[in-house]
Amino acid sequence: MAETGSHHEVIVVGGGPAGLMAAGQAASRGLRGVLLEKKHLPARKLGITGKGRCNLTNTAAQDDFLRFFGHGAKFMRFVLGRFSSRDLVYFFNSLGLETEEERGGRVFPRTQQASDVVSTLVGWVKKTGVKIKSGRDVRKIVAEQGRVRGVVADKHGATEEFIRGENIVIATGGASYPATGSTGDGYALARALGHEIVPVYPGLVPLETAGDTAPMLQGLSLRNVQAGIYIQGRKQAEAFGEMLFTHFGVSGPIILPLSRGAVPALSRNQEVKLVIDLKPAVSHAALKSRISSRMHARGRKKISNLLKEFLPIKMIPVFLEKSGIDPDKPGSELTSREQKDLRMWGKELCMAITGYRSFNEAIITSGGVKLSEVDPRTMQSRKVSGLYFAGEVLDIDADTGGYNLQAAFSTGWVAGNSAAMK
């Protein structure tokens, strides 16, 4: 194994948003740094976030912001106290990238191009003096007597080299979107140094359902609906907004955050159900009365025509098939049981959740380096001196809306500055 002649005050492993921020901040404070990225270009995943628009952060008040982090809220309170969403917006504005706020407090680059975020961030890092070395796959972090000494890396599968470094930041990302380079490498590096890894699984991911109802409704998008996840018969979480039926189950803006509770429950072999309320503004009693009055008032019409007042058009033939109701049956002849079936489809359409999609379709990774083993005030390991963590490699995940990217930038900022202060 060859040893390079270079000696770096900080080595950042991973060129995503957390790694770039950490490297740039450390260099801005005078440290000689190098960023090692195993892909040919850094920030590949950042370039496709937000459907190519890049939802940078969210303007929610801090308490509301933290609420979306679940068990990681306490840890993130320290981090956001040092680098907040307001600080991040100012940071990009100062680099010439203007931002704008959209519905729900979501912040995007004014150009609506994630590629502009990438070019701005990478350009800034290079100006600080950081050497970005692509095609470097870090195999091992060397530590002696409780502190880091350097890393072992290879270049495009060639001979391994040892690179000396006084401070090392692991910012390798999680395991979602592996084609962009996030393949969970950081977990093995951390584990080899004595860190515990909370089991990882896909986060913010579409869900698979039992039966053929969802496939029959494939392509149907619902708006202004309420969906709830029930685990072992108890409601665990609910969300209001849009969702989509697919060939395997369900997806969309309200399904992804609900998956954060569904996935770990499925991994524990618990019963998980999705209950969809198509008319959340209407009570069961009001809908029951409305169905009864419509069927009597327009009873001569075929039920297939009357259902347009209660269900999306694409859902009507599926409902009729599943309930066994003759499409040509007059509305006045609908039995009380059949009226109840219609009401339940409108208020409590229930689907058993049987699985979830892979890391290839997950927006983030849940699980990672155990938070109690990392100091949130510095992002330094509590086990190995000079070792820092930043970004998705940590056991931190949040809902959609800009929260996860803010966590990556904030933890990177703290890690880079802490390494320099040390």
* 158, pLDDT greater than 90: no
Tell me the three state secondary structure of residue 113: coil
Q: Are strands 99-101 and 57-58 parallel, antiparallel or unpaired?
A: unpaired
For domain 206-357, give its CATH number from 3.40.50.720, 1.10.8.100, 1.10.3720.10, 3.60.20.40: 1.10.8.100
**Confidence at residue 180, expressed as pLDDT on a 0 to 100 scale:** 80
Closest-CA residue to 91 (of 64, 109, 68, 66): 109
C-alpha to C-alpha distance for 314 and 218, rounded to whole angstroms: 9
For residues 155 and 233, which has the higher predicted lDDT (pLDDT)? Answer: 233
Q: Is the dihedral of CA 291, 296, 302, 305 positive or negative?
A: negative
Contact 314, 263 (CB under 8 A): no
The pair of structure tokens assigned to 179 is 């084609």
User: Residue 83: CB partners within 8 Å, gap ≥ 6?
Assistant: 409, 410, 413, 414
**CA dist list (Å): 56 to 103, 110, 376:** 14, 11, 21
Residue ranges matching CATH 3.50.50.60 in the chain:
2-202+360-421
**DSSP state, 146?**
T
pLDDT of 290 above 60: yes
Q: How far apart are the C-alpha atoms of 309 and 335, rounded to whole Å?
A: 18
User: Residue 167, CB half-sphere, CA atoms under 13 Å: how many?
Assistant: 25
Give 157's pLDDT tier (boundaries 50, 70, 90).
low
Structure tokens at 7: 């000696």
Average pLDDT (252-277) is 97
On whether the pTM is more than 0.85, the answer is yes
321-375 tens-digit pLDDT: 999 999 999 999 999 999 999 999 999 999 999 999 999 999 999 999 999 999 9
Task: Grade residue 198 by pLDDT with cuts at 50, 70 and 90.
Answer: very high
E strand map for 145-213: 147-155, 161-165, 168-170, 197-203, 207-209
Structure tokens at 303: 């039920």
Number of H helices, E strands in the chain: 14, 20
| Nearest Cα to Cα of residue 114 among 67, 26, 47, 42 | 47
pLDDT for 278: 98
What's the gap between Cα 260 and its chain centre? 9
**Contact (CB, 8 A) for 14 and 37:** yes
According to CATH, what is the number of the domain 2-202+360-421? 3.50.50.60
Give ranges for CATH 1.10.8.100 in the chain: 206-357
| pLDDT above 90 for 178 | no
pLDDT band at 300 (very low <50, low <70, confident <90, very high): confident
Amino acid at 356: Y
Instruction: Please say if the pLDDT value at position 5 is more than 90.
Output: no
Residue 160 has pLDDT above 90, yes or no: no
Reported confidence tier of residue 7, pLDDT bands at 50, 70, 90: confident
pLDDT tens digits, residue range 69-103?
A: 999 999 999 999 999 999 999 999 999 999 999 99
Confirm if 121 and 45 have CB atoms less than 8 A apart. no
Contact 276, 217 (CB under 8 A): no
Specify the pLDDT at position 1.
Answer: 58
Mean pLDDT, residues 237-260? 97
153 three-state secondary structure: strand
With beta carbons less than 8 A apart as the criterion, state whether 263 and 366 touch: yes
Rounded to an integer, the average pLDDT of 176-191 is: 89
